[in-house]
Amino acid sequence: MIVGRVAGVCIRVNLVFLLLAALYVVLGMGLEVLIIVTSLVIHEMAHALVARLLGVKVSDIEILPFGGQARMEDINGLEPEIEIYIALAGPLVSLSLAGMCYFLHIWPTPAGIFLIRLNLGLGLFNLLPALPLDGGRIIRAAFSGHLGFKRATSYAALLGQIIGVGMVGTGTWLSLRDISAINLIILGILLLWAAHREKLYLAYAFMRFLINKKAELARTGLLESRQVVARPSTLITRILDNAQPTHYLIVVVMDERDSVVGMLGEAHLIETLLETGPRATLQDC
């Protein structure tokens, strides 16, 4: 649901978040909901601002139950440090806001204390090494050069599922003594769902990543390459698992007699995979 625009960026609110917000308002916590929404927008606008400064277009911002998500139009993993800078911006701003309010004794009221605790928790929680949190994006960017974009994304999403299960288990145990711990259970379930969604959309995100790399090569005319050797019967998906953000993949195809029968570029592999499907082999090229 679109609720407005800030600095030209469309702001969307997730339906689950909207329902939870309405519930809290009914329970008389309207001010807290306002503080939560404001803090989340500030957090995500920090991502958007850094993205723009680094030349990355921002399509929209979605407010989710466990935080928010600034969607980038053209971030493609070619420069992992860019994704790290963008991912760090949100938590750093949230932690800075909490620290500023605490040390400068701004708003020494229950609402002010809630604001400090919320932004402290928002900053620290988003630094957890789990997709779709900012920490997961940092981990993915840091390891994508070694593991490949697809594998790094899969591992970071798996960490999100593990942490989500851990939060649900911890919240269940704590709720036996404190009913407020049910919030931790809800947060864990939402993180588990979001991490699962990241894995479901992995194929789409990976193909977008590879296609954008092809566009980057067309735009600049220069990209470092990396060679691998494979048999004609090798699955293209297996080859692309080794794709790295900073290099263009070139495959040297060798037959059973170890004779070179051809060379294929990453763009050719992508086109064949899109046309033929996930069971496509190098022979199909």
Rounded distance, CA 88 to CA 50, Å?
A: 9
For 140-171, the DSSP string reads HHHHHHHH-HHHHHHHHHHHHHHHHHHHHHHH
Question: Tokens 């939870």 correspond to what residue?
Answer: 20
Q: Is the pLDDT of residue 242 over 90?
A: no
178 lies in some domain: no
Q: Indicate the length of the chain as a whole number.
A: 285
- The HSE-up count of residue 49 (CA atoms within 13 Å, CB side) is 13
User: 109 and 228 in one domain?
Assistant: no
User: 230 and 123 in one domain?
Assistant: no
Of residues 86 and 240, more confidently modeled: 86
- Token pair, residue 69, equals 């998500």
153 lies in some domain: no
254 lies in some domain: yes
pLDDT at res. 175: 82
By C-alpha distance, which of 186, 158, 194 is closest to 170? 186
Of residues 16 and 233, more confidently modeled: 233
Domain harbouring 236, CATH code: 3.10.580.10
pLDDT tens-digit series, residues 124-169: 999 999 888 899 989 988 887 777 677 788 888 899 899 999 999 9
pLDDT at res. 120: 93
Of residues 272 and 43, more confidently modeled: 43
166 lies in some domain: no
The residue range of the domain holding 270 is 224-284
- Residue 178: which pLDDT band, with cuts at 50, 70 and 90? confident
Q: Is the pLDDT of residue 35 over 70?
A: yes
Between 202-220 and 149-175, two packed helices, what is the crossing angle to 10 degrees? 140
Number of structural domains (the chain) is 2
Q: What angle do CA 283, 284, 285 make, to 5 degrees?
A: 90
- The mean per-residue pLDDT over the stretch 198-225 comes to 71
pLDDT at res. 76: 46
pLDDT at res. 135: 92
Of residues 112 and 162, more confidently modeled: 162
240 lies in some domain: yes
Q: Is the pLDDT of residue 238 over 90?
A: no
- Residue 278: which pLDDT band, with cuts at 50, 70 and 90? low
Distances (CA, A) of 74 to 78, 122, 123: 10, 26, 25
pLDDT at res. 96: 93
Which of 127, 152, 175 delimits the end of a domain?
Answer: 127
Q: Is the pLDDT of residue 78 over 50?
A: no
pLDDT at res. 6: 65
pLDDT at res. 280: 82
Share of the chain above pLDDT 70, in %: 83
pLDDT at res. 165: 92
pTM over 0.85: no
- The mean per-residue pLDDT over the stretch 46-62 comes to 82
* Least confident range of 1-10, 233-242, 252-261: 1-10
Q: Is the pLDDT of residue 7 over 70?
A: no
